[in-house]
Amino acid sequence: MTTVYDVPAEMLINNVAQKLKTDQKTKPPEWASFAKTGAHKELSPDNADWWFVRCASILRRVYMDGPVGVSRLRSFYGGRHRNGVKPIHFSKGSGSIAREALQQLEKAGFIKTQKTGRSISQQGQSFLDDSANEVKSELIKTNPAIAKY
């Protein structure tokens, strides 16, 4: 059985993002076209499908880290905030993006709410594991030596 841990994260996230986009399980909010992903960023994302990529990444992060909340996701998606001539400090990512993505994924049935935070549901776990299996089969087609692992 192939799981999320067995395949490269970037390939899995791109695969899940394409599925979320085609199945229309999530949709970007109206403000997503001009929003920054955090206070530490200077510009909005270059990728037109960044919302689906972020939703896929959050789904993977909830799968791997167990019950998580918005604050913990903000810390994960944060970065270095440049303060002009002052020293660089850490800045958290956008909470609105994390919250909206979690709500959409919960509405789609991939995430469930617990008392300690949000965790992956059975439907979400099978969705990610099936995607991981597809990614692994693509990797085996390109490089047959991987099949023994």
**Domain boundaries, position 10:** 4-148
* Interval 91-99 mean pLDDT: 92
Residue 65, both tokens: 């880290």
* Interval 53-72 mean pLDDT: 93
In this prediction, residue 54 has a pLDDT band, given cuts at 50, 70 and 90, of very high
Closest to 33 in 3D by CA, of 41, 45, 42: 45
pLDDT at 135: 93
24 sits in the region (left: phi over 0; alpha: psi -120 to 50; else beta) called left
Q: Are 63 and 110 in contact (CB under 8 A)?
A: no
pTM, entire model: 0.90
Neighbours of 13 (CB within 10 A): 22
Task: Check which CATH number belongs to the domain holding 61 and give it.
Answer: 1.10.10.10
CA 2 vs. chain centroid, Å, equals: 19
pLDDT at 93: 92
Strands (E), the chain: 79-83, 86-91, 111-113, 118-120
Counted domains in the chain: 1
pLDDT at 33: 86
Mean pLDDT across the chain, nearest whole number?
A: 91
In this prediction, residue 9 has a pLDDT band, given cuts at 50, 70 and 90, of very high
* Interval 76-90 mean pLDDT: 92
pLDDT at 56: 95
* Interval 100-128 mean pLDDT: 93
Closest to 6 in 3D by CA, of 143, 142, 130: 130
pLDDT of 39 over the 90 cut: no
pLDDT at 42: 85
